[in-house]
Amino acid sequence: MRTELTSRNPTAFVGRFGKGAALLLAAVSLGAVPASAQQRGTVAVDYFRSDALGVRKDYLVYLPPSYRLDPMRRFPVVYYLHGAFGSEDDWVQKGGLDVVMDSLIAAGMPEMIVVMPDGDDGFYTDWAPRYRWKLCPARADLREPAERYCVRDPRYDAYIARDLVRQIDATYRTLADARHRGIAGLSMGGYGAMALAVEYPDLWAAAASHSGAVNRLALAVDTAAGTAVYAGRADTLQVTSPSLWPILAPVFGPDTADWWEREPVGRIRRSSAEARGRIPALYADVGTGDNLLVSNRAFRIELAKLGVALEYHEYPGEHDWPYWRAHVAQSLVWLSRHFAP
């Protein structure tokens, strides 16, 4: 059952997100005819059953102002993935993505549908070790009903790339082709966006990551030399990331080979030359005070070695919502510019 909510006041965007947002809005509006400030999108709450996971999954979808006004029109679609310990409503409730979209559209950015799915703590990838579903309901820290969080088969990559994309294209008026489809995310979701982009290059035009949890085995980088040092054992993260280890271990396993198999860099390394040539446009940013700064710098280094283009930025900030709220408009505009006319 779909429930629709009216998007919030777009004029609040500049005051809430600061001077940088105002400058971005000005840049978007150059040469464009602004939409009426009274036109706002809607946020719909919906769900479906994922064959890959074997359970019901919920999602939010932002529908732009013209979605209701022009029932024959179809729109590009972008998928925004939440981080670990998060949920499908994070981008709206904590990131104000609906407000950002309304403001960007009013400033002249092309309209898009934005889908925000529930990703549990699954890292949007196929898990490495054999999963024991019957033990999952014993967990005491579940943030949603066990029958939704405790999936029967943790194939989170197929859930997003196959089941969810098919569901959205069948339910909403999307331009259902790779030239008009993008993906993005923060932290765990940034990892998911990069991993899904290179694993399924025929699905996406572009992918963006904010503070992505990529190259987690990186211990140090020498940016001048273009080199990185990596942990030889996966359980090193049990010491360096003790709060995350309980959700990292089931996903990536105890062997570094399993980690590299699931890292975006590892996926690219094992892909064919033809597949590498189809890799979508990639964007990443990270805060200079973020605990994943070294990982993101290592990611940039490894992509450069592989000859894969990456638009990369570092900004002041940490691994938190103030940083992501300040920069989500950049990824939205960047993605919109990579769609076909």
Q: H helices of 184-320, where? A: 188-199, 237-240, 245-252, 256-262, 264-270, 273-277, 293-306
pLDDT of residue 129: 82
Whether 33 is in a domain gets the answer: yes
**What letter represents residue 103's amino acid?**
S
Whether 171 is in a domain gets the answer: yes
Residue 232, domain extent = 3-336
pLDDT of residue 132: 72
CATH code, domain with 132 = 3.40.50.1820
Which contiguous run of DSSP H or E holds residue 154?
A: none
Whether 127 is in a domain gets the answer: yes
Cβ–Cβ < 8 Å for 209, 184: yes
Whether 341 is in a domain gets the answer: no
Whether 14 is in a domain gets the answer: yes
pLDDT of residue 7: 54
Total domains, the chain:
1
Q: Is the dihedral of CA 212, 269, 78, 168 positive or negative?
A: negative
Q: Report the Cα 274 to chain-centroid distance in Å.
A: 25
Q: At residue 184, what are phi and psi to the nearest 5 degrees?
A: -155, 170
**Alpha-carbon torsion, ordered 205, 211, 216, 222, to 10 deg:** 100
**CA-based nearest residue to 124, from 70, 191, 71:** 191
Residues 6+ apart with CB under 8 A from 101: 7, 41, 62, 64, 112, 114, 332
What is the pLDDT tens value at each position of the chain, 341 positions in all? Answer: 566 655 555 444 444 444 445 546 544 443 333 444 458 999 999 999 999 999 999 999 999 999 999 999 999 999 999 999 999 999 999 999 999 999 999 999 999 999 999 999 999 999 988 777 766 766 656 666 777 788 889 999 999 999 999 999 999 999 999 999 999 999 999 999 999 999 999 999 999 999 999 999 999 999 999 999 999 998 888 888 888 888 898 899 888 999 999 999 999 999 887 788 899 999 999 999 999 999 999 999 999 999 999 999 999 999 999 999 999 999 999 999 999 99
